[in-house]
Structure formats: structure tokens, C-alpha cells
């Protein structure tokens, strides 16, 4: 059994089925009960360094700190790699540990 919010694309599972060699399998795309309009915000900073730049990690960490403070910790931060998430955590956590009342959790901390 595979489950994820991101396994389907284009309304089907053709890509992941092909990648995993799943020719004969049942699938289901369930409707979300999440109210995106009132419970979510997509935030794209106006100006960030190129992600390949050494300055990017620090700039990203500063943006995450700003967002976490503004939302009182109500944020879900994604990174494109485990190393990227670890780098963000190591830069963000020390800036928050004493100043906030919310908990910061990494995926590997919650498993």
C-alpha cells in the first residue's frame, strides 16, 4: 500500500506506476477535506539568492524564522532534500529555542 498527498499527477498515478513497475494495481484518489482557501497560504519571498548560491541557506533560514514568528509556529516547511531540511533546522532552531513557545519538529524527530 502506498499513500501520499503527492503520488498522483495530472489526476492519475501513471507516472508513479511506471516508475515502480506497477502494471496491475488498484488505486484511489480521495478528495481532500482540507479547506485550502481559509487554512493555507502560499508564501514566495520577493527576493532570494539563487538556490545554488552559498547565501541561499542563510536567506532561507531567515525567511523561515520570520514566517514561524508571524504564524506563531503554525507552518509546515518543506525542503527538496533531507540535507536541505537538516541545514534549515540547524540554522532556524537556535534562533527560536529561547524566544518561542511552540515546538519545532523535523520529520525524523516524529517517526
Question: Using CA atoms, how far apart are residues 23 and 5, in angstroms rounded to an integer?
Answer: 21
The pTM (predicted TM-score) of the whole model is 0.64
**What is the largest distance, in Å, between two alpha-carbon atoms of the chain?**
53
The pLDDT of residue 6:
79
The pLDDT of residue 97:
72
Q: Is 109 helix (H, G, I), strand (E, B) or coil?
A: helix
pLDDT at 74 over 80: yes
When pLDDT is cut at 50, 70 and 90, the band that residue 109 belongs to is low
Q: Of 6 and 66, which is predicted with more confidence?
A: 66
Question: Using CA atoms, how far apart are residues 60 and 86, in angstroms rounded to an integer?
Answer: 12
Closest residue by Cα to residue 63 from 40, 47, 82:
47
The pLDDT of residue 62:
93
Beta strands, E only, 37-85: none
Amino acid at each position: 500500500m502506498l499513500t501520499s498527498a503527492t503520488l498522483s499527477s495530472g489526476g492519475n498515478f501513471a507516472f508513479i506506476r511506471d516508475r515502480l513497475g506497477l502494471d496491475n494495481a488498484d488505486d484511489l484518489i480521495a478528495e481532500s477535506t482540507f479547506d485550502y482557501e481559509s487554512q493555507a497560504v502560499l508564501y514566495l519571498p520577493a527576493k532570494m539568492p539563487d538556490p545554488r548560491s552559498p547565501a541561499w541557506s542563510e536567506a532561507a533560514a531567515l525567511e523561515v524564522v520570520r514566517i514561524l514568528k508571524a504564524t506563531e509556529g503554525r507552518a509546515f516547511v518543506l525542503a527538496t532534500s533531507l540535507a536541505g531540511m537538516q541545514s534549515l533546522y540547524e540554522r532556524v532552531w537556535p534562533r527560536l529555542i529561547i524566544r518561542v513557545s511552540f515546538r519545532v519538529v523535523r520529520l525524523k524527530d516524529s517517526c
